[in-house]
Structure formats: C-alpha cells, structure tokens
Structure 1
Amino acid sequence: MTDESGEHGDAVGDGVVGDDASDEPDDGAPDEPDDHDAPDELDEEAPPSPEGEGPLTLEEFYRAVEREGRPVVTAGEVARRTDRSQAAVTEALAGLEREGSVRSVDVESDPVVWFPSQWGDLATRERAVLFPQRREVVVDAPTQYTRARMAQFAHLVDTTGDRESGTRGYLYRIRREDIWSAPFDSLSELIALMRSVLPRRSDPLEDWVADQWNRAHQFTLSTHEDGYTVLSAASENLMGNVARQKLDEEHLHAPISDTESWVRDGAEAAIKRILWEAGYPVVDERDLETGDPIDVDLHVDLRDYQREWVDAFVEKRAGVLVGPPGSGKTVAAMGVLEAVGGETLILVPGRELAVQWREELLTHTSLSDEQIGEYHGGVKQIRPVTIATYQTAGMDRHRSLFDSRRWGLIVYDEVHHIPSRVYRRSADLQTKHRLGLSATPVRESDDEEEIFTLIGPPIGTDWTKLFDAGYVQEPEVEIRYVPWRDDEAQNEYASADGRERHTIAATNPAKVDEVRYLLAQHDDAKALVFVDWLDQGRDISEALDVPFVNGETPHWERERLFERFREGDLRTLVVSRVADEGIDLPNAGLAIVASGLGGSRRQGAQRAGRTMRPAGSALVYVLATRGTTEEDFAQRQTRHLAEKGVLVRENDVS
C-alpha cells in the first residue's frame, strides 16, 4: 500500500502498523524522542476505564478481548482488563454464556477460556489504535460519524481491507496543517473533539497540538491608524529570528518596534506564504476598504447550516466553504454578500459558470441587471458586483483595473484551482473579505494547505450533518473491477508500458458493455457517463445512441444539450472533463466513471458529487480494469469521499 506521496505506508486492515520510525513525516515540528526508543504502543496498557462497576456487559467483554489481542481469554484476563474480581467476572461470563452471547471451553493449559459466540460482531466493530509519537490513528470499520469527526483535524492517508465485510481500515495522520486549519474557535474545542473520537488521551500528542495551535496565532497583519499595513509578532524573538530572517526589503519597509514591522504595499500575500512555509501561519486582521456600499437583500431563506456558514465567515472575514454539490454554497455566498454589503468580485473558472452566477444572483437577490457585470472574453463590464474569470483577472493588462478597486468581498468559486500558477495571481487582489467555495479543496500535489493560507480556513467541513438532515442525498459509491473482453486486449496491455498501458486499461472495450449493463439496471435514472478519452466517448455514444459532450462541442450546442438534460428530454449524456466542475447539472441520479482514473482525487470527488442532490437515490459507479493500475487509481479517487463519511463499496464484475 502506498500513500499519496508514493512512499510505502503501513497495513491497516488488522489495526497493526509497522516500523514506528519508517515513515515519520518531515513537518518541521519540534524534535521528539526517536520512535526506535519508544515501547511498542500496541502493548501499552490502556488507562483504567469506568468499568468495574455493575455487572459485566457484552460490550466490556468485547473490549477486553480486543485489548488482549487474542481470540480467547481467561476470566482472570477479563478481570484485569475490566478492573473486577475474577470471581465476579466468572459469574458474569457464565450468565452471558446462558444467554448465548459467549462460549467457553476447557483446555489443558488453563481450566476455562472464553470467546464470543458471534465472531462477526467483534470483527465488524469499530476499533481505533493511536500512535501518538507518529501522530497517526488507525481505525478499523469506522462509522460515518467517526470519519466525519476525524476529517476535522486529521488527514486520511490510506484505506485497505474489504468494505463488504465491514473490515475496511483507515489510516489517518495528524499534520501541522490540519491543526492550523482546524475549524474551531479555540484550542479547547479542538481538544474536546479529539478526545471524543480518539481511543485514549495522550499528553504528548495534545501538547504538540497545543504548540501547533499557538504557532498559528503568533503573527498578525493589521492596519495602522495612518493606513499602512503592520506585521506584528507575539514576541521580540519571533520578529527578529523568524520574520526579519525570512523576509527582506521587498516585504518589509522598516521596523516600527521590536515586535512590529512596516509592510510594503502589495507584499501581504507573499508574507503570508513565506511565514506559512516557515511554520507560522499569519492571522489577517487588516481593516481594508469595502468600496461603495451595496444594499442587497436575499430572496431565499438560508438553511440552518448555511446561516452557520455565513455567521462563521463574517466573524473570521476569510474562509473556504467546504460542502458537497447541492448543499447550497452559492446561496450561502449570496448570504455573505448581503452581510458584507460592499462591492464584490466573483472569480470563476469559465464563462459557463459566469453566466450561471449572473442568473442565480438575479433570481435569489434584489440585485438588478444593471448592478451585475461580467468581465471575460468579449464582455468587459465593471459593476458593483462583477463576475470575472480567473484567467482574465490575472492578465497584466486587466490586473491593474481589478487591483485598483476597493472590493469589499472577493468570492473564489472552485477555489481548489488557486495554488496553480495562473490562478494564484488573483489571490493577491486586495479585499476586506475573501470567500472560497469548493466541494473538494484537495489537490494531487497535497498543497491544499495553500488554499487555506491564501484564502482562509475551512468552514463547514462536517458533511454528515447535511446527510443526516436530508439536505443532501448521500451517494452510494461502488468501484467495479471489469475484466478484459478477451485475451488479445489483455496481451496488448501486458506488452505495453508507461502511458500506453494506462490508455489501454482506461479504454478497455469491456467497459462499453458494463456501461450498457448498468444503464439497463437503472433505466429510470438520469445518467452521466464520464470519459477522458475522445475515442472511447465516441464508442460509448455510438453504442448507446446518446450525445457526447466534449471540448470540441460548440458552446451553443453544449448549452442546448445540458438544458435538455436538465429538463428531462435527455436521460443519458456521455461527457468529458468539461462537466467535472462549473456546470450545473442537477438531478443526475446516476454517474458512471468509465475512464479518467489517472486523474486527481478532486476529479473523482467532483464526478461523484454530480449525484449529491437534495432528493432521490444517488449512485456512482467507478469502472476500473481488473489487474491494472486503475485499481489503485480508483481507490485514490474515492478516498476523499470516504474521508467525508461517504461509504465506498468494491465489487468484481463476473
């Protein structure tokens, strides 16, 4: 098993992790004792539990078996693990045996040993093992609740095991970036959540978390009463040995005091990036201009969680709304616009999304057509609310125009693009509030922390609340491993190498038959079939007699087909990457990913997210050619969904 960086990770299916020091992340944290000198943490005695009072329960017996790490236990071992007398445990076990919950057998080495009657109950129970020195947690068979909670302070590294039997294991790593970006107002709230989900407390781990939390609050950008920006440090040592060592005259104009420096105009974003890389995120408290005020009324009632998003953002003045498609991030952004009441710039990846934003603003707010401008392609309008593409806003000939405005709010839609070279230029635009929107703020290069550095911390990361409240339909995701159609295709794959192998596996002809089979099984569902290869898209389109939308499709034709799909005139569309993001295709109850498994985790989550809508069942099938690298790619693509609490099944196609 490998993690995203390509390094070998640990097997987690049985809750046991290998060499403690082999994959320690180099995260710049303070030195800790070497893991080779640490005792085996699996043999570490757990702290006394509140057991020992009242009759022994079956749940306590299960925990005792797990702690012993053996399939059978003696009454003495259960007594030690539950802090009870052996006589009391023996009597209780006899009662559980009469109920049929446990069984016993006489052996020569010990008079009686006990074991669960239903091994499946024990095998499929959630179990967590904490490795505090490596800051890793292994969770076997985690519930959706546990996965959603872990996602708020830890990074999902890998999964393994068989989901059908309920033995899927999850390996989490708690990184400094996860603590810096944790969506909590105080350290005590973060620690409380960690204690609620981790199997036991660890003072060294909590001390490290506290240190990282404090690191994220050591430097502050603020506005001086004379109008210029000031960088402040919590101590003279931090300013002298960190800020002034890492920054130069391009960033700092002059010192003001031992803990304050005068910042050069336009250097704020660079300062935040440099200090982040040095291990110190910067709190941005600048008092920026909001431009001319805008009186905007929202014409739709916000849901409770959307109101929580808006309130959290207004308090922080910067952040990224992280929620699945269909959860209403766009409407929540309009709620932010109403609350801020200043001139607003909305940045989008393409013209289609710009048109959709304009329509949504006219539908859901009191803004008039004259108050909304678009700035892209042949349209060049600057209005109180302006919608522009990232590419246009970053161009030198247009940038000065955008930078001269006193934006009260900049909305970064599909914000996961920001770390890329072209898009990140827009992050330097000055504004009082920065709001990012994304269902999947992850990138294959694992630089998603840059999103939170440049824009703001994540808001609304607990998807479980949305699923449980019924606001968003939780999808059912299944990876289907498809065999080769014949020996000739398999032999062609075996004799190829590199990129050619990937192409042959992705365009396996047997996938056409599997797509046809799945559509027949769900003939009443509106379906999207995703492909990355034009020839494959054309083959599926011809075999199913349905349209294929790709980059070569004229813009007007693309919009016409999407509209027919929305209206229900078209039940099935084959689409290339043009539908991965930024295109509103509501009520797609079925998504089939026929190829594209070499893409990123974000792409996989975006495609699965096309089925996350408020009503109806939602199904996602990911096709991978059996025995090829597509198997690993498929698991990587769905990992982010698993991290958010979405169940992912696996199935071999016969």
Structure 2
Amino acid sequence: MTDGPLIVQSDKTLLLEVDHDLADACRRAIAPFAELERAPEHVHTYRLTPLGLWNARAAGHDAEQVIDTLLLYSRYPVPHALLVDVAETMSRYGRLQLVSDPVHGLVLHALDRAVLAEVMRSKRTAGLFGARLDETDVVVHASERGHLKQVLVKLGWPAEDLAGYVDGEHHDIALETDGWSLRPYQQQAIDGFFHGGSGVVVLPCGAGKTLVGAGAMARSSTTTLILVTNTVSARQWRDELVARTTLTEDEIGEYSGSRKEIRPVTIATYQVLTTKRKGVYSHLELLDARDWGLIVYDEVHLLPAPVFRMTADLQARRRLGLTATLVREDGREDEVFSLIGPKRFDAPWKDIESQGYIAPALCTEVRLTLPDHERMTYATAEPEDKYRLAATAGGKNAVVDRIVRRHAGEQTLVIGQYLDQLHELAEHLDAPLITGETTVRERQRLFGAFRTGELSTLVVSKVANFSIDLPEASVAIQVSGSFGSRQEEAQRLGRIMRPKGDGRTAHFYAVVARDTVDQEFAAHRQRFLAEQGYSYTIVDAEDLDQAPDPA
C-alpha cells in the first residue's frame, strides 16, 4: 500500500484526492482513459468506460500502460477483477478489422473467429454483409462501412478501420509560414491524425484548432469540405486560410444560407446541411459535389444528429474532427468514435497554458441570495420554470455591473441564455447586444469594433459560445446557460483563453442564484473544466472584493 492520490474501486470509479501532492500528475496520467463524473472541492470522481478505454487503445495506449498507471497512483490494492476487465475491454478493440481487398473490395477480417460468428448472427448486422469468404473474412457492402462501424460499437466489438481512403481530387495547398510556424503540439496533432487516417483532435479553445485544420489540408493537398457551426465561423475560417495558406479567396467557397458556392475548398454550415425541404435534406448533394479528399468537422461535439447519418456515407474520405471537448450532452460520443474516428490527439488545457500558448484563467462563482419575494415565487413555481426564474434573477444585473467596474478598461463579454435578460443587461450596461437575430454583417461589425478596442463590453447570447475569435477578450461573465451543459462552460471559458500581449490572467465569472437549481446546474457545468485542472473560487455577491485579484 502506498500513499497515492487515487482510490480505485471495483465499480470502476476512481476517486482522486485533489489536495494530494501527486494529484496533478495523476490527473494527467488517467485523462486519456477515464471520464470525470463529479468534481466537488476535495475528491473528484472518475469512471472507467468501454468507450474511454477504446479511445485510449486507438490512440496507442495499451492495457499494460493503463494498469500500470492505476497501480502506480492507487492508495490501496487495485481490485484484481477490475484489472482483468480493463485488459479484456481494451482487447475488444481491433479484434475485428475493416480491410481493403483487391478482389472483393471492403472486407471485415476477424482476428478471432468466434467474434465474427457472434456479430454475424446479430439482428443488428442484417443486410450489412455480402458473401462469406472463409472463417475469418466476410465481404462488407462499401456503402455500409459507416453503419457497420456504428453497429459494432453498440455490440461491444469496435472495429479498427484499416481499409484506407480514396485520395480525392488533388489540389495544391501549402502553409504560408512567413513569420510563424506550427507549434509543436499542433504538428503532433496533425501527425497523430494522419497516422490514424481519421479521427478527432482535442485542443483547448484558443490553442489554434484552425491551424491544425490548415496543416492537415496542406498535408493532404486535396479538395476539402469544411463543416462549421455558423456563417461567422465560416468567414473566420476563410480569412484564416487566406492568411495562413497559399489558398486565394477564389479557391474558397461558402455554402451557407446566403451563398451556395462550391470551390476546391468549400466551407459549409451545419445548419444548411441539415435543412429539410418537404422531408428531404435538399443540400446533401454537396457531399458528392466534388471528389473530396478531406472532410473537416469544426466543433465536432456540436455535430447535429442528421450529420451523423450523412457521415456514415463518407467513410472512404479522410475525416478530421476538431473540438475543445468530446463531451456531448446528447450522449452520442460513440457516434463520434465510430463515424468521425477515435481521439487521435488530446492536449490537456493546463499543459498548453504552462507552455504559454493560452492564457492562465481564474474561475469564480459569485453566489447571490434571492430576496424573499423572489424566493417565494421560485419555491412555488412549476419544476419546468424554476431554472429560468433562478437564472434570470433581477439581482444579477447589479452583480454584473460591479464585476464590469472591477475590470474597468478590460475587454469584457457578458454571456447568457435568455433574451429578455440579455436585453435588460445590455441596456443596463449601455453595451451592444448580439443574438441569433443579429445579422451576420452587424455581428462582424460589432466583433470588429470589440477587437480594435472601440467597444470594451459586449453582451452576447449563446451564438458566441463557439468559433468566435476574440483574442482581446480577457473577462467573461456568465449569467445563464443551457442548464448543466459542460461543453458550453468549456466553450465560454475558451472565449477568453487567447494569450494576452502583456501576460494578463483571464477571468471567468459565473453569477449564480444560491439554493436553486441554478446552483446545481453550475456545479454540473464545471465538471469538464475541473477535469482540465481548473477550480472555481466561490464568493458571496456581497463579498465580491474577496474574489481573486483582477490584476
């Protein structure tokens, strides 16, 4: 028995003592294969899941490494049954392989004949196979490559896809590296992606995911389809590609609600792809409009469900997913794993911060007590109304006002969910408001004014959660959100993570109503950031001057 920071339990939970000297080293060591579930002050709870272990396996970690990590950091003897289960779960990945056969095309090859027999007998695989070639090989219909991978993950036998990819249409793309170069972790991410062929790169907001995409495009030198969250993001991608690569504006098309351009590099929004007309996805022809050699999915954790079905048809193309977090609130992480690909590279936020590539950040939860009349209204409200009532508490305006004054002269974002609340705050602060109703042109104008310092405060709805490049922002104040969304919390913190020229620390505030579901959801939202090594200082609204120093 050692005095390690970790307690490994037979129900596959891992308890990490936060204040232990080895806690940070342990957190980094278990991050590739364990998922954080709860993160209160002193003991964080992680869980071992099949998907987490398979992602680790696909990223090159073997069972021996995982077991050695558990044994190294565990305070008590690790249950033998759990170690056996880890080894057996990880061994399931790759016992089935999708390979390319010169005669029969796509073939499912089994390293274990019994596993092939098992999956072929499943009703879920009916219609996905062609002729049985021998005891270890069966033909797979090429059009079912994605669907089969989905099914095999559900059956607990994730296939390793070794079938390769079509080259796609060649198109010269190179990086323009005059005055800059890829950071070491960006190059490692590109190398990891190409080593695996397809998959997901996980990098903190502000760490240059777009440059990883540009580097992958240059390495591929093929026509590329880039799928993004919105039109503003599409135009930021275009501007970045024009600045960082040999691509010209004429070579880059925008396929959005307002434009339908198909060029060698085409940037399309998820929204236009998932638009239905008379029950039909009318823009799906874009997927076949060119012989794409690379598909890039920006913010893959936000991928709409219909795009998963489309992605099942793109398995012969290289697919790169970019995200700050693989957490999906709809629980479809297994779809990302099977259809986009396994996690190929994951850089912990604190590691990138320590290298100086993203700003250090202090997170503060400011709790205010509702006045008696609001407490009674909340207490007697219907359950479905409670969060809105707590999240839009009138007292939050004064708290936000004090935080803004506390950081006078700094570029500040006020972020929320409810439009009535945001309109009131914008008027209270005499600051512009950006919502989904704001035109793309007006958004770009306001973001531009914020970047130049003409505007120091912006009030924004959830449209600013993702893919908005605001390097000058150093303070974010969150007044309400999408219930307990961990991914949203990460995206919002990410808005202020760009390194500051003077080395200043970024500040992220969550203003929360005490003793309400607002407080409960806040605790849930903070889980992902706790996994990354961030902690929240909790202060009473009356004692805001005790929050971490804004200097």
What TM-score does the superposition give when structure 2 sets the normalisation length?
0.90
1:170 partner amino acid: H
> Which stretch of the first structure deviates more once superposed, 631-640 or 135-144?
135-144
Query: Could you say if the C-alpha distance between residues 464 and 610 of structure 1 is closer, same or farther in structure 2, counting changes exceeding 3 Å?
Result: same
Q: What CA distance in whole angstroms lies between the structure 1 residues aligned with 2:103 and 2:360?
A: 52
Question: 1:599 Cα deviation (Å)?
Answer: 4.5
Q: What amino acid is the match of 2:533?
A: G
Mapping for residues 320-331 of structure 1, pairs under 5 Å:
320-331=200-211
Bigger shift: 516-525 or 547-556?
547-556
Instruction: Pick the aligned partner of 1:483 from 369, 382, 404.
Output: 369
Residue 307 of structure 1 is matched in structure 2 by: 187
Q: Distance in 2 between matches of 1:414 and 1:324?
A: 11
Task: Identify the residue that residue 244 of structure 2 maps to in structure 1.
Answer: 364
Quick one: which of 532, 538, 551 aligns to 1:650? 538
2:5 aligned partner? 127
Distance 1:341 1:227, change over 3 A: farther
* Cα deviations by residue, 1:516-540 (Å, 9 ceiling, x for unpaired): 1111111122111111111111111
Alignment: residue pair count: 523
User: Judging changes above 3 Å, is the alpha-carbon distance between structure 1 residues 402 and 227 closer, same or farther for their aligned structure 2 residues?
Assistant: farther
Q: Residue 382 of structure 1: which of 239, 262, 285 is its match?
A: 262
Residue of structure 1 in register with 2:131 after alignment: 254
Determine if contact 1:346/1:385 at 8 Å carries over to the other structure. Answer: yes
Of the structure 1 ranges 451-460 and 572-581, higher mean CA displacement relative to structure 2 is found in: 451-460
Instruction: Provide the rounded CA distance (Å) in 1 between the counterparts of 2:109 and 2:123.
Output: 14
Partner residue in 1 for 2:149:
272
Give the corresponding residue for 2:423: 538
Corresponding residue for residue 473 of structure 1: 359
TM-aligned CA deviation for residue 440 of structure 1: 1.9
What is the 5 A alignment of 1:493-532?
493-532=378-417
Match of 1:185 in 2: 60
**Shift of residue 494 of structure 1?**
1.7
1:285 equivalent among 153, 162, 167: 162
408-417 vs 285-294, which moves further:
285-294
Relative to structure 1, is the Cα distance of residues 401 and 627 closer, same or farther in structure 2, using a 3 angstrom cutoff? closer
Q: Are 1:417 and 2:291 matched, yes or no?
A: no
- Cα distance change on mapping 1:553 and 1:427 into 2, 3 Å: same
**Deviation sequence 1:557-598 (CA, Å, 0-9, x none):** 222111111111111111111111122222210010011151
| 1:478 aligned partner, one-letter code | T
With structure 1 as the length reference, what TM-score do the two structures score?
0.76
Classify the secondary structure of the residue corresponding to 1:379. coil
Q: CA RMSD in A?
A: 2.0
In structure 1, distance between residues paired with 2:376 and 2:171: 65
For residues 457 and 527 of structure 1, do their structure 2 counterparts lie closer, same or farther at Cα, with a shift above 3 Å needed?
same
| Cα displacement (A) at 1:219 | 1.4
Aligned to 2:348: 462
Q: Is the 8 A contact 1:506 1:597 kept in 2?
A: no
Q: Distance in 2 between matches of 1:451 and 1:619?
A: 32
Partner SS, residue 393 of structure 2:
coil
1:347 matched to 2:227: yes
Residues 1:549 and 2:434 are matched in the alignment? yes
1:640 aligns with 528
Distance (Å, rounded) in 2 between the aligned partners of 1:378 and 1:627 = 45
Contact 1:246-1:274 at 8 Å conserved across structures? no
Cα distance between partner residues in 1 of 2:295 and 2:476: 32
Q: Distance in 1 between matches of 2:499 and 2:24?
A: 19
1:463 maps to a residue whose letter is: W
1:527–1:571 contact (8 Å) kept in structure 2: yes
Q: Distance in 2 between matches of 1:494 and 1:398?
A: 48
Q: CA deviation at 1:371?
A: 2.1
Per-residue displacement from partner, 1:451-486 (whole Å, max 9, x unpaired)?
Answer: 1222112212433321111111132111111112x3
How far apart in 1 are the matches of 2:424 and 2:104?
62
Name the SS of the counterpart of 1:422 in structure 2.
helix
1-structure distance, mates of 2:399, 2:217:
46
> Following superposition of structure 1 onto structure 2, how do residues 73-84 of structure 1 map, counting pairs within 5 Å?
none
**Alpha-carbon distance in 1 for matches of 2:408, 2:447:** 19
Q: Is the 8 A contact 1:137 1:173 kept in 2?
A: yes
The one-letter amino acid of 1:442's match is V
Larger radius of gyration: 1
Residue aligning to 2:547 = none
Contact kept in structure 2, 1:147 and 1:642, CA below 8 Å = no
Structure 1 residues 286 and 432: alpha-carbon distance in aligned structure 2, compared to 1, 3 A threshold: farther
1:150/1:197 contact within 8 Å kept: no
Q: Judging changes above 3 Å, is the alpha-carbon distance between structure 1 residues 192 and 368 closer, same or farther for their aligned structure 2 residues?
A: farther
Amino acid at match of 1:563: G
Identity value in percent:
34
1:169 pairs with 2:48 = no
Distance in structure 1 (CA, Å) of the matches to 2:223 and 2:416: 40
How far apart, in 2, do the equivalents of 1:378 and 1:551 lie? 15
1:383 and 1:423 map into 2 onto residues whose CA distance is 21
Counterpart code for 2:51: E
Shift of 1:449: 3.1
The alignment partner of 2:505 has SS state of: coil
Partner of 1:239: 116
Which residue type is aligned with residue 407 of structure 1?
Answer: W
Contact 2:253–2:261, Cα closer than 8 Å, also in 1:
yes
CA–CA separation in structure 2 for the residues paired with 1:443 and 1:264: 30
